[in-house]
Amino acid sequence: MKFLFWEFGKKKKSRETAKKRLEQIVGTTKRKQMNITEIIPKEMLDKNSDKIKERIASWLSETFNVEKEKIKIDLEEREGHVVIITNVFFK
């Protein structure tokens, strides 16, 4: 009987650690979506795409304390919206 109680306690502990590991994996996603805060007309985007990229790069550089060379920014148009894709390399 002692063996069964010991086994039961071990399984419960491993379940708790597995739950914590799963929460850590799910909780720290690499992709993060942000809500739309500003709508930019297409003409302005075409004219000022380099300025917009520079502004985003400087904001990301200050926020994450990385060099601007480690930030890659792409602009894509999807279904009438402009999607800004940013990649920040920390290493």
What are the structural domain ranges in the chain? Answer: 1-29, 31-91
The pTM (predicted TM-score) of the whole model is 0.51
Contact 34, 86 (CB under 8 A): no
Strand residue runs (E) in the chain? 71-78, 81-88
The token pair that represents 89 in the structure block? 């390399």
Alpha-carbon span 33 to 82, nearest angstrom:
14
Span 23-80, pLDDT tens digits: 766 665 556 666 767 776 777 777 878 888 899 999 888 888 889 898 999 888 777 7
Residue 33: the pLDDT is 66
